[in-house]
Amino acid sequence: MQSGIESKAFDRFSETCSAVFTDSAAQWKGQGGKVLGYFCSAMPEEIATAAGMLPVRLRATGSDGTELSDSFLSSLNCTFPRHAFNMALKGEYDFVDAMVMFNSCDHIRRVYDHWVRQIKTPYVKIFSLPKKAEAAQIDWFRGELDQLCADLREHFGVELDDAGLAKAIKQHNLTRRLLRRLYDLRKAERPPISGAECLAVTVSSTAMAAADYNEVLEQLLEDLEGSDGLPRPRARLLVMGGELDDPRYLKEIEDQGCLVIADSLCFGSRLFWKDVDENDPDPLQALARYYVADRPSCARMFTEYDKRAAYVREMIRDFDVDGAIFERLTFCEIYGFEQYSMANDFKEWQVPLLCMDREYILGAIGQLRTRVQAFLETMEN
């Protein structure tokens, strides 16, 4: 993606974001390392890191069709799993040694059903992710993570103990703290980084080794903290929703004169807004508690809506948000319910909100621009 940031660190993130099989993954594989692939942000990357594997959140970046996956998934399935499984069938994910999935939604569950029969990945397994965030669900998820650790030890002969997990937790918590520093820069009246650029940075965190990523991010923060801010925008926007890994979508929005300065996205702030407890003597329990209850939750956690609404309200206040856009992948039932509930709350808060459905692959750009322009004009009036 094109950027106004003069930073080699950002160039690295931009390149990483634009590919599925990244230079980081290629280098890792070239050195004999194993790659663990996953789809959902509920996957504890710390486990892969502690096992000496590279965790890579699989995207469908670069996909141009679903001609193969349409034999397995219907046109009423969300287009992200259709594009992702199409890439799997074409061999685009053959660099993955272990594939870990969760029952995050029915669409991804169907991908697993076909993956185990059609794709020759050495290790593939689906684990149960609770939909509530109480003590019983945390304990259940700890059991699932314990099984995952046992499987990785058995299948790959890796060492995976509490000491390694504790070290990995500290490493990934550093990532979270650095990303929160980046977001603090966006609170300024003239932020030094756009929303599209920031999304490229956060997406890259799911495709690079944590130690390498942290080093590059620290350099980017140094570059940004000494740079001039962007021109004052027509409006400061918050973007909400689920699967959004394409910075070009936010760039089309920002090209209308506004600036995306905050988000509630599963490739954005929800990845790092809280830390995993480093003081818990049971690292797996700390991870289970974090991924089920402590972090800002996904819309599938149906008992946690009030907390999500409070989180969004806090974003609106802290980032001086003028309005918000709720983007939803077509046929995503989970975020359909969330969109309806949030629309009601935004009316009560008297904050302008634009709700838009979209396909995974960026399209209908003219319609997107027109709707954003009309939204901004409405806000100004």
Domain that holds residue 77: 23-159
Answer whether residue 193 is part of any domain.
Answer: no
Answer whether residue 27 is part of any domain.
Answer: yes
Neighbours of 168 (CB within 10 A): 25
The domain tally of the chain equals 1
Global pTM reads 0.95
Answer whether residue 365 is part of any domain.
Answer: no
Q: What DSSP assignment string belongs to 6-70?
A: --HHHHHHHHHHT-SS-HHHHHHHHTT--EEEESSTTS-HHHHHHTT-EEEE---TT----TTGG
Answer whether residue 347 is part of any domain.
Answer: no
Rounded Cα distance, 86 and 109, in Å: 15
Answer whether residue 135 is part of any domain.
Answer: yes
Answer whether residue 326 is part of any domain.
Answer: no
Answer whether residue 76 is part of any domain.
Answer: yes
Q: Determine the pLDDT at residue 4.
A: 67
CATH, residue 61: 3.40.50.11890
Answer whether residue 74 is part of any domain.
Answer: yes
Residue pLDDT tens, the chain, 381 long = 445 678 899 999 999 999 999 999 999 999 999 999 999 999 999 999 999 999 999 999 999 999 999 999 998 889 999 999 999 999 999 999 999 999 999 999 999 999 999 999 999 999 999 999 999 999 999 999 999 999 999 999 999 999 999 999 999 999 999 999 999 999 999 999 999 999 999 999 999 999 999 999 999 999 999 888 999 999 999 999 989 999 999 999 999 999 999 999 999 999 999 999 999 999 999 999 999 999 999 999 989 999 999 999 999 999 999 999 999 999 998 999 999 999 999 999 999 999 999 999 998 899 999 999 999 999 988
- Determine the straight-line distance between the first and last CA of the chain, rounded to whole angstroms: 33
Rounded Cα distance, 156 and 211, in Å: 22
What does the pLDDT look like over 212-223, one tens digit per residue?
Answer: 999 999 999 999
